Amino acid sequence: MKSEDFTAEELSQVTNPQPVQQPVQQSIQPTNPLAEMSKETTNDDIDGNYWPIDDLPSKFKLYPEGTKIFARPLKVLEVKMLSSLNNDNFHHVITEVLKKCVRGINIDKLLVSDKLFIIFWLRANTYKESGYTVDFDCNVCNTESSYVFEIDNLDIIDIKDDYDPDGIIKLSQSGDEIRTRQLTIKEENNVKNFITRNKRSAAVYDEDILTIANLIESVNNKKMSLMDMYEYIINMNPIDFGKVETYLNHYDMGISPIMNVTCKNCGGMADVAVSFRPEFFVPKASLN
Ligand SMILES: [Zn+2]
């Protein structure tokens, strides 16, 4: 399996969110050691090496007021776990690492849109010299090339100013009123669990539609099971469906699955899929 596969899947939440050209708003560097922890933190000893994360794609707007999130650099066992990432263990490994390194929030309640940002933050603060060389096929000069990855290459898609978590989409054809949600890490797992549970059933489910069903909070203020929501969607008028899809894409946030890098061969700006590779977390060290 190609190493890009699982992260490409992980990153594209609905269909293909368009990369948004925005400068990285925060250089991902810790500023001050932390003195306080929020009350959500109950487990583990705090070893004093935690730093506040000042910015997130969600801008903390969707968490309880006053939420502060802290994290510490990765330790050897966590780096080892991350370097074993594959398609099957991706969710489990990322969640376990976040549980160990992040304080101030119950990881189940962390938004999926903030999750990968924090993983990059952990990486950036574990290896201070964050740049590393990655091979890729350049789509500008069509050669096998390489680029130096920098955290600033990432396109961070921030929450839009006019995003309203209680916003309603009024559908023109059915007249239904839809409310959507930003998934938490716990809710993200709904689709996988559903597929596992239904493995033996004869019914075939479209995973993209299931993903969209998972993103819908309610229809006419009524909540539904994932299966009922799936049935609702596949029976929608396509015009209404298009509206829901457009809305979800418009208000998507997180890290763009595509980043722009400078090709070493031609010097051109090339589009590359964001990916985690084992060497991302265990860069080759210089012995000098
Ligand atoms: Zn090139």
The region of weakest confidence among 3-17, 139-153, 198-212 is 3-17
Mean pLDDT of 219-227: 97
Q: How far is the CA of 269 from the centre of ligand 1 (A)?
A: 8
The region of weakest confidence among 42-46, 85-89, 100-104, 278-282 is 42-46
pLDDT at 127: 76
pLDDT at 283: 63
Q: What is the pLDDT of the chain when averaged over all its residues?
A: 81
Over residues 53-65, the pLDDT tens digits come to: 988 999 999 999 9
Give SS3 for 186.
Answer: helix
Q: How far is the CA of 149 from the centre of ligand 1 (A)?
A: 15
pLDDT at 192: 86
Over residues 145-162, the pLDDT tens digits come to: 888 777 677 889 999 999
Residue with the bigger pLDDT between 7 and 187: it is: 187
Length of the chain: 288
Mean pLDDT of 238-262: 92
Q: How far is the CA of 268 from the centre of ligand 1 (A)?
A: 6
Give SS3 for 24.
Answer: coil
pLDDT at 171: 98
Q: Is the pLDDT of residue 21 over 70?
A: no
216: part of which helix (H) or strand (E)?
strand 216-219
In whole angstroms, what separates CA 141 from the centre of its chain?
Answer: 30
Give the percent of the chain with pLDDT over 90: 48
Over residues 75-126, the pLDDT tens digits come to: 999 988 888 888 788 888 999 999 999 999 999 999 999 998 998 888 878 8
Query: Residue 186 contacts by C-beta under 8 Å, 6 or more apart in sequence?
Result: 108, 109
pLDDT at 53: 92
Q: How far is the CA of 260 from the centre of ligand 1 (A)?
A: 12
Q: How far is the CA of 120 from the centre of ligand 1 (A)?
A: 25
Q: Kindly report the number of other CB atoms within 10 A of residue 91's CB atom.
A: 16
Residue with the bigger pLDDT between 128 and 171: it is: 171
Q: How far is the CA of 150 from the centre of ligand 1 (A)?
A: 17
Q: How far is the CA of 128 from the centre of ligand 1 (A)?
A: 27
- Residue ranges of domains in the chain: 2-158+258-280, 169-250
